[in-house]
Structure 1
Amino acid sequence: MSNTTHLGPVPQRITVDAEQVRRLVADQFPQWAGLPVRPVADGGWDNWTFHLGSEMSVRLPSAAEYALAVDKEHRWLPELAPRLPLPISTPLGKGEPGAGYPFSWSIYQWLDGEPAIADRIADPVQFAVDLAGFLAALQSVDTADGPRPGKHNWFRGGTLRTYDGEARRALATLDGHVDVDLAREIWKSALDARWDGVESWFHGDVAQGNLLLDDGKLAAVIDFGTCGVGDPSCDLAVAWTLLTADGRQAFRERLSVGEATWARGRGWVLWKTLVTCAHTVDKPTRRPRAHSASSAKSLPSTRPVAAPQRRWQRARRPVEASGRRLVLDVPRLEEALRLVARRHSGLRIYLLPDDCSGYPSSTASSTTAPP
Structure 2
Amino acid sequence: MSPTETEITADLIRVLLKEQHPDLAELPVTLGARGWDNQVWRLGDDLAVRLPWATRSADERLLKEHTWLPVLAPHLPLPVPVPQRLGAPSERFPRPWIVTTWVAGTPADRAPAARADDAARTLAAFLTALHRPAPAGAAAGRGRAGPLADRAEGFAGQLAKATELGLLDDPEAVRAVWEDALAAPPWDGPALWVHADLHPANVLTADGTFCGVIDFGDLCAGDPASDLAAAWVLLPDGATGAFHDACRPSPDAATLRRARGNAAANALGGLLIGDAGDRGLPGGKPSWGPPAREALRRLTATRQG
Q: In 2 relative to 1, CA 249–160 (structure 1 residues): closer, same or farther, beyond 3 Å?
A: same
- Of 68, 85, 97 in structure 1, the residue corresponding to residue 89 of structure 2 is 97
Is the CA contact (8 Å cut-off) linking 1:156 and 1:226 kept in structure 2? no
Partner residue in 2 for 1:289 = 279
Q: Which residue of 1 aligns with 2:156?
A: 168
Identify if the C-alpha distance between structure 1 residues 221 and 274 changes in structure 2 by more than 3 Å, giving closer, same or farther.
closer
Residue 275 of structure 2 is aligned to residue 301 of structure 1:
no
Please show how residues 77-226 of structure 1 align to structure 2 within 5 Å: 77-116=69-108, 121=113, 123-140=115-132, 142-149=133-140, 155-175=143-163, 177=166, 178=168, 179-198=170-189, 199-226=191-218
Which structure has greater helix proportion? Answer: 2
In the alignment, the residues of structure 2 paired with residue 188 and residue 274 of structure 1 have an alpha-carbon distance, to the nearest angstrom, of: 15
The CA deviation at 1:349 is: 4.7
CA deviations on 1:100-132 (whole Å, 9 max, x unpaired) are 322111001112222335866452111111110
Work out whether 1:259 is the aligned partner of 2:253.
Answer: yes
- Tell me the percent identity: 33
Structure 1 distance, partners of 2:179, 2:3, is 33
Larger relative contact order (CA 8 Å, sep ≥ 6)? 2
Work out which of the two has the higher radius of gyration on C-alpha atoms and give 1 or 2. Answer: 1
Q: Which runs of 4+ in 1 moved over 6 A?
A: none
1:237 positional shift: 2.4
> CA deviation digits over 1:176-215, x for unaligned, max 9?
6344444333222222222232121111122333323343
**So what's the TM-score if we normalise by structure 1?**
0.70
Q: Deviations over 1:201-248 (max 9, x none)?
A: 111122333323343343322221111111111112221112123311
Matched residue type, 1:261: T
TM-score, normalised by the number of residues in structure 2: 0.83
In structure 2, C-alpha distance between the alignment counterparts of 1:209 and 1:93, rounded to whole Å = 24
Residues 82/48 of structure 1: CA separation in 2 closer, same or farther (3 Å cut): same
- Alpha-carbon distance, 1:84 to partner: 1.7
Q: Does 2:37 correspond to 1:46?
A: yes
Post-superposition Cα deviations, 1:145-203, rounded to whole Å, max 9, x if no partner, equal 252336xxx64421222222222222333446344444333222222222232121111
CA contact (8 A) 1:193 1:264 kept: yes
- Which structure 2 residue ranges, 5 or more long, are not aligned? none
Aligned residue pair count: 291
CA contact (8 A) 1:24 1:99 kept: no
Q: Which runs of 5+ in 1 are unaligned?
A: 1-10, 291-295, 305-325, 327-338, 342-347, 358-371
Q: Summarize the alignment of residues 328-339 of structure 1 with structure 2, pairs less than 5 Å apart.
A: none
- The one-letter code sitting in structure 1 at the alignment partner of 2:23 is Q
Judge conservation of contact 1:202–1:232 (CA < 8 Å) in 2.
yes
Distance 1:54 1:231 in 2: 36
Decide whether aligned partners of structure 1 residues 211 and 175 sit closer, same or farther in structure 2, where only a CA change above 3 A counts. closer
